[in-house]
Amino acid sequence: MKKTLSMVSGLLLAASVFGADGLEQLTLSISTPGPDTYADGTQVLVGETYLLVYVKQGATFQGLFTDGTLVDPENNKIATKAFAVEGAKCGYTPIQYPAALFPEGGSWVIVLLDTRKADGMVGGLVAGVGSGAATGAASALSTSLNSVGGGAAGSGAAPTLNVSAPTLALANTPQPEITAVLPKAGGAVDVRFKNISDKALYNVQSATDLAGEWQTVATRVQASSQNIVQGANGAELPAAVQVPAADKVRFFKVVVPNATK
Amino acid sequence: MKKLLMITAALAAAGFAHADMPSVEGSNVVGFAAVTAPGGKNTIITVPFEACMSSGTAGMLNDLVATSGLTSHSSDPALADQLVVLTTNGAAQVYYYYYNDTEDGWTAITSAMLMPDGSSQALTPPAATNFPIARGLGFWVKRVASVDSTLYVKGQVSEGKQATPISAGLNLIGYGAVEPFSLNSVDWTGAYGFGGISATTDRILVGNGDGTYSTYFYYVKKDGGSSYYDQFTNKWVKSTSTGPVLPSTQIPAGQGFWYHRRGTGGFTFRPEGQ
């Protein structure tokens, strides 16, 4: 018994020594060779957002909600952000972290976001994501200078990133309701709706026949302090759309896409 | 004619006198060492020199590591060669990143320092003109170009003895020698070995230039072991299927390595003795 206990203690001691005898801090750098693209094939804009996501062992990256939060926060963790630079690529960003924070066995994924607003500028809610190949997280005993996305120094171009999947709407997104429709000259129409969330992306759809096909006439409509207006029913979000000027009849509805959760 | 002989004799005397005059030696010796920096690889280097005109003083990074022959870029660190230094900021380990800026030479890169609570702090290293590199400190050169290049480390030849602290765990160090050396040709007082090669034996990892390492263990013969192993005791050895083998290669001047301290606590590496 005494001998067994002694052996176990010895093993525990060896394990603790081994676990503590590596590096306190680890480092890696993130970058992409570019050009990275949005789902429509256009190159990402300067200032667009990239995430470095740690994925726990045995898990995969499960995507984001429109507000940028993780679909699977139990197994995915956002370590840091980086931003696109000239060349439509992730700007070189070194990080360093306590070795125990992101343990070996997990992996790293660079995620490209599409945060373009209706006006085409970045910085809005997240409409889509694209992720690169997973790279194993280093151990405290790593003797390599690690990198993610750009590959090892000079190892050749890594694949470019493309936004390939939409984000999901949050589960508690309220059902929008149109409060006003105002036809203007030349086919321009102002639509306003209530029950809005500042974490949701709205599409406005239109049709000339209620039983016909609905077409999207406005995308990425999102509420901010700059564009919401106070109507009789509280905060309302306006959307300016364009339809054929010669239409005799036209219908509109507002949808929140990908509200699957 | 007599006058001419006198003048000739005087000149000869003056010549002899000139030959006997002592020369005035410069107060210091400077130099450089060429280190092979493989293309597309990360290499551990060390600087065997100190600051010029400041005997015993560590030189600054931008003075010690030449940028000539390396890849530079005017704005994008990803497209330039880099230096990455593992050092301490107070008591904590930190990494300082620098890239070879076309106009300014080694230029600091701000990195994100992630904290245990998940928050992040920006960490901007000191300017390379103001960051002393002690002789014996190891650090990385990260090459972006696909072709090999020569990296020059330079400075004043030190007249002092190197003293490099080694802590528990992994240490990036080097021997600040100005010529190739064998691991077993320097003083390793403080290195730890016990019972042949074991999980607590200190080890050294020397890069092979291709991303792999050769590992050497600090060998101490087991109690009661054969006298055959006396030749390896207190020496660095490679572990092979037939037993320990003394290293056959030398480490070039300017090349650093990992020291994995697995013995208790740390010690000061004094390769040239006390």
The first and second tokens of residue A193, run together, are 């709706």
Kindly indicate the confidence band of residue A258, based on its pLDDT and cuts at 50, 70 and 90.
confident
What is the helix (H) or strand (E) element at residue B218, kind and residue range?
strand B213-219
Q: Which of A18, A22, A155 sits opposite B40 (nearest CB)?
A: A155
Phi-psi bin for A251: left (phi > 0), alpha (psi -120 to 50), beta? beta
pLDDT of residue B4: 53
> Do the Cβ atoms of B223 and B104 come closer than 8 Å?
no
Q: Which of A25, A89, A143 sits opposite B95 (nearest CB)?
A: A25
Spatial distance between the Cα atoms of B253 and B64, rounded to a whole number of angstroms: 14
Three-class SS state of B5: helix
Strand partners, B83: B98, B141
Strand B213-219 and strand B105-109: the pairing is unpaired
Residues A124 and A233 grouped into a single domain: no
A-chain residues near B260 (CB < 8 A):
21, 141
Residues A183 and A228 in one domain: yes
Q: Residue B94: which of A25, A31, A141 has the nearest Cβ? A: A25
Looking at residue B64, what DSSP letter applies?
A: H
Residue whose pair of structure tokens reads 């106009």 in the numeric block:
B103
pLDDT of the residue at A12 = 33
Point out the domain boundary residue: A116, A137, A166.
A166
C-alpha span between B201 and B261 (Å, rounded): 8
CA angle B216, B221, B224 (to 5 degrees): 160
A242 and A138 within one domain: no
pLDDT value at residue A97: 96
How far, in Å, CA of B188 to CA of B261, rounded? 12
The residues spanned by each domain of chain B are 29-159, 161-274
Mean pLDDT on A46-54: 97
The residues near A136 (Cβ < 8 Å, ≥ 6 apart) are A104, A106, A107, A108
pLDDT of residue A10: 37
Rounded Cα gap, residues B255 and B43, in angstroms: 8
Distance CA B64, CA B133 (A): 8
Same domain, A42 and A98: yes
Contact between B260 and A93 using a beta-carbon 8 Å cutoff? no
Residue B169 touches partner A, C-beta closer than 8 Å: yes
Whole-complex ipTM:
0.85
Give me the pLDDT at residue A8, please. 36
Instruction: With respect to residue A93, please indicate whether it lies within any of the assigned structural domains.
Output: yes
- With contacts defined as CB-CB under 8 Å, which chain A residues touch B45? none
pLDDT of residue A7: 38
Kindly tell me the burial class for residue B211, based on how many C-beta atoms sit within 10 Å of its own C-beta (0-12, 13-18, 19 or more): middle
Say whether both A155 and A212 belong to one domain: no
Q: What is the CA radius of gyration of chain A?
A: 24
- Per-residue pLDDT reduced to its tens digit, A166-223: 999 998 899 999 999 999 989 999 999 999 999 999 999 999 999 999 999 999 999 9
Q: What pLDDT is stored for residue A118 in this prediction?
A: 85
**Average pLDDT of adjacent 10-residue blocks, chain B of 274 residues:** 55 58 84 88 91 84 92 94 91 92 97 92 95 93 88 90 94 93 96 90 92 94 91 95 93 94 93 90
Let me know if residue A188 belongs to a domain: yes
Question: Which of A166, A185, A218 is at the close of a domain?
Answer: A166
Residue A8 lies in a domain: no
Q: Which residue among A130, A145, A166 closes a domain? A: A166
Nearest one of A131, A169, A168 to A51, comparing CA atoms: A131
Q: What is the pLDDT of residue B217?
A: 97
Same domain flag for A188 and A149: no
Query: CB of B138 within 8 A of CB of B222?
Result: no
Q: For A91-118, what is the mean pLDDT?
A: 95
Query: How far is it, in rounded angstroms, from Cα B262 to Cα A16?
Result: 11
Whether A99 and A45 map to the same domain: the answer is yes
pLDDT of residue B52: 84
Which residues on A lie below 8 Å from B209 (Cβ)? none
Percent of chain B as helix, strand, coil, to the nearest 5 = 15, 40, 45
Query: What is the domain range of residue A218?
Result: 177-255
Which residue of B45, B81, B84, B93 to mutate against A (max A Cβ within 10 Å)? B93
**Average of pLDDT values for A52-61?**
96
A255: pLDDT strictly greater than 90: yes
Cis peptide before A35, with omega less than 30 degrees from 0? yes
Give the one of A89, A98, A153 whose C-beta lies nearest to B40's C-beta: A153
Question: Is residue A246 pLDDT above 90, yes or no?
Answer: no
As a whole number of angstroms, the distance between CA B274 and CA B267 comes to 13
Least CB–CB distance from A143: residue in B112, B115, B170: B170
In tens, the pLDDT along A115-136 reads 999 889 999 999 999 998 889 9
**Chain A, chain B: beta-carbon pairs less than 8 Å apart:** 111
Pairing of strands B111-114, A93-98: parallel
Question: Which residues are paired to B20 by β-bridges?
Answer: none
Using an 8 Å CB-CB cutoff, list residues of chain A that contact chain B.
14, 17-18, 20-25, 27, 29, 31, 77, 79-80, 85-87, 89, 91-98, 100-101, 140-141, 143-145, 150, 152-156
Predicted pLDDT at A9: 38
Averaged pLDDT, A224-231: 89
> Is residue B77 within 8 angstroms of chain A, CB to CB?
yes
Q: Does the pLDDT value for residue A43 go beyond 90? A: yes
Whether the pLDDT of residue A6 is over 90: the answer is no
Task: Tell me whether residues B170 and A101 touch, CB distance under 8 A.
Answer: no
Report the pLDDT value the prediction gives residue A41, as an integer from 0 to 100.
Answer: 95
Give yes or no: residues A162 and A204 share one domain: no
Share the mean pLDDT of chain A. 87
Give start and end residues of each alpha helix (H) in chain B.
2-20, 61-64
Instruction: List chain A residues with CB under 8 Å of B146.
Output: 154, 156
* Secondary structure of chain A in HEC code, one letter for each residue: CHHHHHHHHHHHHHHHHHHHCCCCEEEEEECCCCCCECCCCCECCCCCEEEEEEECCCCCCCCEECCCCECCCCCEEEEEEEEEECCCEECCEEEEEECCCCCECEEEEEEEEECCCCCCCCCCCCCEEEECCCEECCCCCCCCCEEECCCCCCCCCCCCCECCEECECCCCCCCCEEEEEEECHHHEEEEEEECCCCCCCEEEEEECCCCCCCEEEEEEECCCCCCCEEECCEEEEEEEEECCCCCCCCEEEEECCCCCC
What is the arithmetic mean of pLDDT over A227-254?
Answer: 91
Residue A201 shares a structural domain with residue A110: no
For residue B68, give the amino acid letter: S
Lowest mean pLDDT of A71-75, A254-258, B5-9, name the range: B5-9
What is the tally of structural domains in chain A?
2
Q: What local confidence, expressed as pLDDT, does residue B88 receive?
A: 87
Residue type, B78: A
Residue A89: left if φ>0, alpha if ψ -120 to 50, beta else—which one?
A: beta
Contact state of A27 with B112 under an 8 Å Cβ cutoff? no
